């Protein structure tokens, strides 16, 4: 990881030296943390609605940067324990355009937290995603790194949340709701913008903890 951080610093140096696109690396940008809530088919919709990975405790977490939406997921056979060997990893980083993400998220229950960052941090995130997209750094496993832990690892590197080891990260943020509780608490304390959207009535959606729900209801823009 120190080598990767070195590449990031080198990239930013040459970007500032040869490009006029971002002359002020301290200017504000916005990182979006997208939380899809877990769900199961509702009563009367067992046949028409799909069963989704993880069920009511599943869902997904992804990051919206300046160039699109990135998320971490499984590829191929599901692993209980993560494999260190690159050849045995069943994982990938997905990139999605904003237009595709908006289309795919219709009727789904989402919370998006808008985290203000400077352009230097955003460029580091974009470069990190580009590296991860090309060369996935870890396996996707039930007892290992998954979507919430992957986002938490990146947020930790950028010092948006506390930084932990990968082992400590996936244990701390085993489910998406764990990370959602943490990010909502920070949004409440720091005044970050939040947008919450209800999901369709054909599914039974995961519920937030009472204190998290109060923070969302008190601060978020609620969309039907």
Q: Residue 3: its pLDDT value, please?
A: 43
pLDDT confidence bin for 19, thresholds 50/70/90? very low
Q: Residue 92: its pLDDT value, please?
A: 87
Average pLDDT of every residue of the chain: 87
Report how far residue 108's alpha carbon sits from residue 106's, in angstroms, rounded to the nearest whole number.
Answer: 5
Q: Residue 98: its pLDDT value, please?
A: 86
Q: Residue 24: its pLDDT value, please?
A: 55
Closest CA to 36 of 218, 200, 204, 199: 199
Lowest mean pLDDT among 4-18, 28-42, 44-58: 4-18
Q: Residue 159: its pLDDT value, please?
A: 95
Percent of the chain whose pLDDT exceeds 90 = 65
Lowest mean pLDDT among 20-29, 41-50, 166-175, 179-188: 20-29
Phi, psi of 183 (to 5 degrees): -70, -40
Quickly list DSSP for 6-45.
Answer: HHHHHHHHHHHHH-SS-S-TTSEEEEEEEEEPPEEEPTT-
> 180 pLDDT exceeds 60?
yes
Residue 9 in tokens: 């610093």
Report how far residue 48's alpha carbon sits from residue 128's, in angstroms, rounded to the nearest whole number.
Answer: 39
Tens digit of each residue's pLDDT (9 = 90 or more) over 135-153: 999 999 988 999 999 999 9
> 17 pLDDT exceeds 60?
no
Closest CA to 86 of 139, 18, 26, 46: 139
Q: Residue 75: its pLDDT value, please?
A: 84
Average pLDDT estimate for 36-45: 95
Report how far residue 38's alpha carbon sits from residue 176's, in angstroms, rounded to the nearest whole number.
Answer: 9
């Amino acid at each position: 990881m120190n080598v990767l951080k070195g590449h990031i610093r080198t990239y930013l140096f040459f970007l500032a030296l040869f490009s006029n696109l971002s002359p002020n690396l301290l200017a504000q940008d916005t990182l979006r943390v997208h939380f899809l809530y877990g769900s199961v088919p509702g009563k009367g919709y067992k046949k028409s609605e799909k069963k989704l990975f993880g069920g009511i405790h599943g869902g997904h977490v992804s990051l919206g940067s300046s160039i699109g939406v990135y998320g971490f997921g499984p590829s191929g056979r599901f692993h209980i324990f993560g494999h260190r060997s690159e050849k045995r990893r069943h994982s990938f980083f997905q990139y999605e355009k904003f237009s595709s993400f908006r289309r795919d998220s219709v009727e789904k229950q989402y919370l998006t937290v808008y985290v203000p960052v400077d352009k230097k941090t955003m460029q580091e995130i974009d470069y990190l995603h580009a590296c991860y997209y090309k060369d996935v750094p870890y396996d996707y496993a039930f007892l290992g790194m998954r979507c919430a832990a992957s986002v938490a690892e990146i947020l930790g590197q950028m010092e948006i949340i506390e930084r932990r080891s990968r082992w400590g990260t996936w244990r701390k943020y085993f489910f998406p709701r764990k990370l959602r509780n943490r990010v909502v608490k920070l949004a409440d304390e720091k005044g970050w913008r939040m947008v919450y959207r209800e999901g369709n009535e054909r599914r039974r959606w995961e519920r937030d903890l009472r204190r998290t729900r109060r923070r969302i209801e008190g601060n978020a823009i609620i969309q039907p």
